[in-house]
């Protein structure tokens, strides 16, 4: 315990001494730049300084081993670091699929050479990663994927198209599932997990325009792309095992992003974000309550769902820290967290009323326009990363043992 307390003191001193002034309290909406990579842009120069000092310390990936650029901290110490950063209002120096998805996958399935090659670059924010899983013909039935990888000596020659590759236009490398054995008896068995440099000849990227008017996703095409065999993670033909583990990370990440975090209350308000919003648009009654009792009830229902969900995420973490075996809870968190986020935006749009109908131009505030776009974007939450129906199948089959 005294070890943790002295670590807390040292950490606070180090953060105070090394965090540049320009990163304190930067709102997360402005953090587009801390995804790293060759094309990285930073909201201000201090963010780059912040990334570099934290990477040097190993604290962009606090729990990864030091030899790969991490901080070598156990969960208890990493929690102290997170708490101290929060107390000093310091943003994460780096986010993205490198840290949350491919990094943990390489730590578990990668060989020594792959770990040494890729993990330090992730920690330093030098390389930004994207994910190549879905295909135009393979959505929920992911294992039916058709992107072909044909062996040619020390290389695979890859042909096919990946879709819903998030931020592929900003990424430097892609981790992808490809079919190396079209004749395998089970469709899952012919799949290989492979790392591809997006600068390789034959890789092209085209953004997809969504109903929200934005393009966070792309289509990524591979035409005779030559990829070294040494870029295969785990064994050839064992990609489905790797993919399932990684999907667990993805679901946890989506659940974290959409479920419990919610919307922060306004400064100096004793009310929640949603109740302040409802009072702005619907007024308050003589007792200071949301004037419309139906909306008041719905605000309370959403907030209570969020709280119960947040407590459940905490319970899973506390159990893991206490050494209990993790269950299939990531499926539950994905479906519940995303459905919750969607309900939240549905309610926000109804609170805004006619002011939620703006696409652009005069008559609508920036936050109203943002809310409308976010509502549209949220409709994808229950589709991406495995649809809600797929998650319910997983729960029914693997948690409840039903013969689905």
Partner 1 sequence: MELVLNEDQELIAKTALDFVEENSPVSRFRALRDANDPLGYSPELFKEMAELGWTGIPFDEKVGGAGMGLAEFVLVVEALGRKLAPEPFLGNVTMAGSALALAGESALRDAWLPAIIDASKVVSLAHQEPRSRYDVFAIETRAESGDGGFRLSGEKIQALDAVGADAVIVPARTSGDPGDRDGITLFLLEKDAAGLSIERQVRVDHRNAGLIRLKDVPCAASAVLGAVGEGGRILEAVLDRAIVVLAAEMLGGMSEAFELTLEYLKTRDQFGVKIGSFQALAHRAAKVYMEIELARSTVMAASRALDSGDPQAARLVSLAKARCSDAYVLATNEGVQMFGGVGMTDEYDIGFYMKRARASELTFGDAAYHRARWAMLGHY
Q: Of 7 and 273, which has the nearer Cβ to partner 1?
A: 273
Of 16, 30, 224, 389, which lies in the binding site for partner 1, with binding defined by CB under 8 A? Answer: 389
Interface mask toward partner 1 for 300-329; x: CB under 8 A: xx-xx--xxx-xx-xx--xx-xx-x----x
Q: Of 31 and 278, which has the nearer Cβ to partner 1?
A: 278
- The interface region with partner 1, picked from 52-60, 148-156, 290-298, 373-381 by CB under 8 A, is 290-298
Q: Of 99 and 394, which has the nearer Cβ to partner 1?
A: 394
Q: State yes or no: residue 288 binds partner 1 (CB under 8 A).
A: yes
Of 275, 338, 372, 382, which lies in the binding site for partner 1, with binding defined by CB under 8 A? Answer: 275
Rounded Cα gap, residues 259 and 55, in angstroms: 28
Q: State yes or no: residue 296 binds partner 1 (CB under 8 A).
A: yes
Cβ neighbourhood burial of 198 (10 Å; 0-12, 13-18, 19+): buried
Q: CB of 364: closest distance to partner 1 in angstroms?
A: 25
Beta-carbon contacts of residue 308 (< 8 Å; ≥ 6 apart): none
For the chain, the straight-line distance linking the first and the last C-alpha, in angstroms and rounded, comes to 47
Q: Which residues is 175 bridged to in the sheet?
A: 131, 195
Q: Of 176 and 332, which has the nearer Cβ to partner 1?
A: 332
Beta-carbon contacts of residue 288 (< 8 Å; ≥ 6 apart): none
Q: State yes or no: residue 400 binds partner 1 (CB under 8 A).
A: yes
**Would you call 208 helix, strand, or coil by DSSP?**
strand
Cβ neighbourhood burial of 185 (10 Å; 0-12, 13-18, 19+): exposed
Of 163, 232, 335, 356, which lies in the binding site for partner 1, with binding defined by CB under 8 A? Answer: 335
Q: State yes or no: residue 403 binds partner 1 (CB under 8 A).
A: yes
Residue 360: active-site member = no
What are the phi and psi torsion angles at 365 (to 5°)?
-80, 165
Q: Of 17 and 400, which has the nearer Cβ to partner 1?
A: 400
Q: Which one is catalytic: 84, 250, 298, 339? A: 250
Question: 217, 269, 219, 267: which is closest to 27 by C-alpha?
Answer: 267
Q: Of 154 and 268, which has the nearer Cβ to partner 1?
A: 268
Beta-carbon contacts of residue 401 (< 8 Å; ≥ 6 apart): none
Helix (H) or strand (E) segment spanning residue 159 = strand 155-166
Q: State yes or no: residue 290 binds partner 1 (CB under 8 A).
A: yes
Interface mask toward partner 1 for 180-219; x: CB under 8 A: ----------------------------------------
Kindly give the interhelix angle for 239-258 and 329-352, rounded to the nearest 10 degrees. 40
Pairing of strands 155-166, 217-228: antiparallel
Give how many residues touch partner 1 by CB under 8 A.
45
Give the residue numbers annotated as catalytic, written as ranges: 250
Q: Which residues bind partner 1 (CB under 8 A)?
A: 270-272, 275, 278-279, 284, 288-290, 296-297, 299-301, 303-304, 307-309, 311-312, 314-315, 318-319, 321-322, 324, 329, 332, 335-336, 389, 392-393, 395-397, 399-404
């Amino acid at each position: 315990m005294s070890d943790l307390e002295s670590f807390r003191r040292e950490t606070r001193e180090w953060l105070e001494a090394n965090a540049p002034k320009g990163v304190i309290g930067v709102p997360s909406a402005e953090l587009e730049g801390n995804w790293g990579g060759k094309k990285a842009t930073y909201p201000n120069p201090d963010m780059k300084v912040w990334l570099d000092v934290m990477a040097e310390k190993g604290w962009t990936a606090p729990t990864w081993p030091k030899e790969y650029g991490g901080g070598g901290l156990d969960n208890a110490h990493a929690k102290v670091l997170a708490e101290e950063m929060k107390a000093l209002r310091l943003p994460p120096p780096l986010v993205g699929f490198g840290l949350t998805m491919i990094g943990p996958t390489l730590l578990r399935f990668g060989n020594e050479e792959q770990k040494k090659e890729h993990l330090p670059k992730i920690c330093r924010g030098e390389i930004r990663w994207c994910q190549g899983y879905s295909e135009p013909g393979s959505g929920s039935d992911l294992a039916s994927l058709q992107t072909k990888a044909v062996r040619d000596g020390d290389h695979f020659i890859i042909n096919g198209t990946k879709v819903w590759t998030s931020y592929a236009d900003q990424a430097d490398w892609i981790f992808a599932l490809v079919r190396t054995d079209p004749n395998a008896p089970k469709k899952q068995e012919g799949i290989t997990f492979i790392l591809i440099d997006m600068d390789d000849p034959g890789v092209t990227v085209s953004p997809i325009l969504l109903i929200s008017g934005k393009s966070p996703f792309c289509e990524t095409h591979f035409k005779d792309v030559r990829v070294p065999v040494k870029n295969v993670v785990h064994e050839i033909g064992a990609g489905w095992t790797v993919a399932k583990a990684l999907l667990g990370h993805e679901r946890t990440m989506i659940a974290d992003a959409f479920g419990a975090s919610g919307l922060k209350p306004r400064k100096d308000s004793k009310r929640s974000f949603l109740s302040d919003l409802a009072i702005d648009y619907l007024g308050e009654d003589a007792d200071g309550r949301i004037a419309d009792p139906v909306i008041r009830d719905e605000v309370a229902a959403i907030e209570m769902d969020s709280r119960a969900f947040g407590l459940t995420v905490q319970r899973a973490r506390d159990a893991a820290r206490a050494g209990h075996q993790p269950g299939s809870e990531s499926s539950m968190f994905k479906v519940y967290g995303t459905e919750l986020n969607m309900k939240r935006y549905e309610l926000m749009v109804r609170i805004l009323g006619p002011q939620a109908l703006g696409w652009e131009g005069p008559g609508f505030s920036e936050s109203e326009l943002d809310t409308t776009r976010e509502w549209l974007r949220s409709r994808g939450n229950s589709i991406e990363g495995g649809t809600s129906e797929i998650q319910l199948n997983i729960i029914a089959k693997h948690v409840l043992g039903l013969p689905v």
